[in-house]
Structure 1
Amino acid sequence: MSTSTEVRIRPSSIQRAKKERRAALAFLGPNALGFLAFTLIPFGGSLILSFFNWPLVGSPEFAGFANWKRLFFEDAQFWPIVGNTLYFASVYVIGNLIVSLGLALWISSNVKFKGFFRFAFFLPVVAPMVANAVVWRLLLAPEEGLFASVFKMLTGSTGPNWLGDTRWAMPAVILMSIWQGFGYNMIIFCAGIGSIPQQIYEAAKIDGASWLQRTVRVTLPLLTPSIFFATIMTIISSLQTFAQPFILTGGGPGNSTTTLVFYLYQRGFQGYEMGYAASIAWSLFALILVVTFIQYRGQDRWVNYQ
């Protein structure tokens, strides 16, 4: 009896599994085709293009490693621009994490109107980057901007030329970027803090731990997975920054705020050197890959997943 039952059930279960696989493929198919057409093929095509000279109009000419040789050994602008990118990324990541973590700790305490503050601080993230940059360009105007007016009221002078001085242009871009982007990490940290069991805090209070001790010894160690994720994502996004220097300074004064993505844009879509722009893109990809790999290799030393 049991053998005949198994024989009757097995074909129907196999057919059901086949139908489920076909349904899964039907749902995944369009996305897989889109990924292949708009991500994977262009990804490989850009690598091939880096070995060609192509002025966008006309036929590409094979150049071998000429673009790479020019990029690393002959282009006097490339390495200073790499330095600009690393400068922006390092200061922006540190500032973003400090501001977002501090506000998350504050909002997660016994503060009123938590929902309003979350909304207000997250609002710049969902606002268009171009609109944010245009507003900050007006705020940082050398004579009539808000910053100049505040400086004039306090000191009698309009202060530095924030966007026209090589010493202040990059800090101004970083300041605007932190204001625009800290809300995303703040929400991540708020969610991480909210997931910490309250019993741990209650036990720490019974042991006589102060708020600062609870923060340092309980909250921050248990929040390290969220901090790790936020750090990785913030580093990757900071190394790809484009809109802020493009709108605020146009990469200037000189090349003081030109980043790798902005330099790629200049070479590819202003200079029509698509092969050379592709080599810049792959150098940026290698930089992001190395930084991310180092972060992942070092996470065991400080990230607590328990």
Structure 2
Amino acid sequence: MTSSLSTDFTHGISAIDAQFHRPQRAAIHLIEENGKMALVDTGTAFSIPGVLSVLEEKNLAIEDVDYVILTHIHLDHAGGASECMRCFPNAKLVVHPRGARHMADPTKLIAGAISVYGEAEFKRVYGDIHAIDEKRIIEAPDESRIDLNGRSLLFIDTPGHARHHNCIYDEQSNAFFTGDTFGVSYRELDVNGKEFVFPTTTPVQFDPDAAHASLNRIMHFKPEYAFLTHYSRIGNLIRHAECMHNLIDAHVEIARNADEINSRRSNANRFNAISTALESLLLQRLKKHGCQMPQTEIISLLSADIRLNTMGLEHWLNHSDQTVS
């Protein structure tokens, strides 16, 4: 069953549109195993009515959601976690050990977001975020597993985008739920079934060395598919992993070049230089990809990602020794 909010794949996996800013920007993945369910990432509090609607369409009971799994605690992935725990009475929240305390006490998480967006915009975009009972939180360290009604899900620690990031390997589908570790791939940019993937360097914890290592670790499993939060299933992973490695290095080179040209006192100039170069890079790669979308539409689609990637690269320049192996 595929509805306006969900797309069904094999092995009981569905993508539910989180309705974050625009359609098909962020996915909540549903895994169903003989009537029991897990959700991977949550969108925001405003995403959860859509999840409830999809479960109702599929004749699935809220009491049968066993797990709500967070790849990491950035709010487009975890902002709806407390609302999920309110709606799904039997669910446990599964999260990286570095993120667990922020789910039990989201004060710092909320304050950090408000400092960026302002309180009114934070409320508009993310809604209410509440503390989650520690007794309902399961920490998932590297190589831990959970059992979903006989279906084993393996958690591997995958820093690079964030130090509190897990990717989840599902042996049954030979697929990974990768959060942001395998980058971003919007379906609007597909050409003849071929996806375009690019990195997300948005957080304050961007680490290119770790990002390369995490990609290699994922590919060691030889997965057939990756389910990205932005947006959902991609194949051709050998080709995409190679492209991701290349683009991570290209992002780093752009940041270093901008830093050399502009003094640290000229942060506005440096920001603009990085942003402009990232835009040019992605437009060039999309042209090579065969994308026929008008340039103005591409820029409109990717503008938020380019801005956030620029912010992440600037933070990396300011807070690291910039050594990349």
For the criterion TM > 0.5, the same-fold answer is no
Pick 1 or 2: higher relative contact order, CA cutoff 8 A, min separation 6: 1
Q: Which has the higher helix share?
A: 1
Instruction: Give the greater-gyration-radius structure (CA).
Output: 1
User: If the length of structure 2 is used for normalisation, what is the TM-score?
Assistant: 0.24
